[in-house]
A = this chain, B = another copy of it.
Amino acid sequence: MSQKNITIRDVARRAGVSVGTASRAMNSAPGVMAKTREAVREAAKELGYQPNAAARALRSRSSRLIGCLFSDLENPLFARLFNSLQDRWAEEGFVTLLSGTSGKVERERRTLETFAERGLDAIVVAPGHERDPELLRMLEAFEGPVFVLDRDLPIEADRLLFDHEAALRDAVDYLVGLGHRRILPVFSHGQARPGVLRHKAFDAALADLGASAPIKIEPATPNSPVFQEVTEVLSGGDRPTAMIVQGTQVLSSTLNALAHLRLSFPDDISLIAIGDSALTVDHVPPITALRMDRDALVDVVANRILDRIRNPAICDRIAPTLRYELVVRASCGARGDAG
């Protein structure tokens, strides 16, 4: 607090070199003799030197900050994604900023403004709004790579898309193969890509069978409780024989409703969860779920951002699609009759 800060000048003096050399040594830049570099590092350690991030950022025009804007932090996939990205980027000397917006467009705008002011080197975004003109403008004005995560944002950017349609079709096909016909969807629709595509694919898969879902439960958000809705539907006549349920709070209130009705799976009803988590894995019996390969996800995002930061000249765009895997566990059973 009181003592003068140690600057690179001090380190250079102590190591008996110039500041330029000291800087190069500390940054592992080429063109420094191994011996010199060691001497500088040694001096730095002895003095307890800590580089000043602001000065470096000012001069090098790189904040070494990467931002994440996610609409839904309660989605464990995104929470874990942040964790992994943070780890990965920390290895490379970057600090990761996180902003959860709960889908509020106002907060999304504010976040983007902050990201711009702070001169972030790159951002990865999964906003709740895909068409807000102001948001799109800010995204396009952002100086630096933008990575879009599973959103249909009409901007030029790298992106990674989840194949919700294949996922839902896999789930429906699996259930149909087991003899199910009355399948209850319990996942939110919303305005963004995931919900839209899931419902579209679900409807299409059913239409292919010449069927349709007479009843749907569409939670307002992925974290809305649906105890009451599920209870009502499952108490009525012509009860569905299977359900496809979104993870997290929707799933946990569904399980609660099932327990209440003394309905158990796979005997009384079959269940597939969208998204894999402790809730599905550790449940007894374990729940069949659509799983996203988080490691693959992290690799794509983390590396692409790093590549772009290092080589701003890259002008191609990537847009790979990641498939969910249907992890079959014990929550679905065969249905002999044409239930």
Contact = CB atoms under 8 A, between A and B. Distances in A.
Contacts of A116: 50
A117 B50 CA distance: 6
Interface stretch (A90-98, A210-218, A298-306): A90-98
B282 A253 contact: yes
Contact of A117 (B53, B58, B79, B225): B53
B95 A114 contact: yes
Interface size of A as a range: 35 or more
A256 B284 contact: yes
A296 interface: no
A157 B256 CA distance: 43
A95 B253 CA distance: 35
Contacts of A51: 117
A107 B175 CA distance: 44
A8 B63 CA distance: 19
A256 B283 contact: yes
Interface string A43-74: 00000001111110110000100000000011
Contacts of A73: 79, 83
A264 to B, nearest CB: 8
A119 B227 CA distance: 48
A262 B261 CA distance: 11
Given A54-B57, A117-B51, A255-B256, A284 B227 contact: yes
Nearest to A2: B143
What is the copy number of this chain in the assembly?
2
A55 B74 CA distance: 35
A246 interface: no
A99 B86 contact: yes
A118 interface: yes
A257 interface: yes
A159 to B, nearest CB: 19
Interface in A264-322: 278-279, 282-284, 312
Interface string A310-338: 00100000000000000000000000000
Nearest to A118: B53
A294 B257 CA distance: 28
A58 B119 CA distance: 14
A73 B279 CA distance: 17
A9 interface: no
A1 to B, nearest CB: 6
Which 6 residue pairs of A and B lie closest in terms of their CB atoms, listed nearest first? A54-B57, A259-B259, A225-B282, A54-B58, A53-B118, A54-B54
Interface of A: 1, 50-55, 57-58, 63, 73-74, 79, 83, 86, 90, 95, 97-100, 110, 114, 116-119, 143, 223, 225, 227, 249, 252-253, 255-257, 259-260, 262, 278-279, 282-284, 312
14 contacts: A50-B117, A53-B57, A53-B118, A54-B119, A74-B79, A79-B79, A83-B100, A86-B99, A90-B110, A97-B97, A225-B282, A227-B284, A253-B282, A257-B284
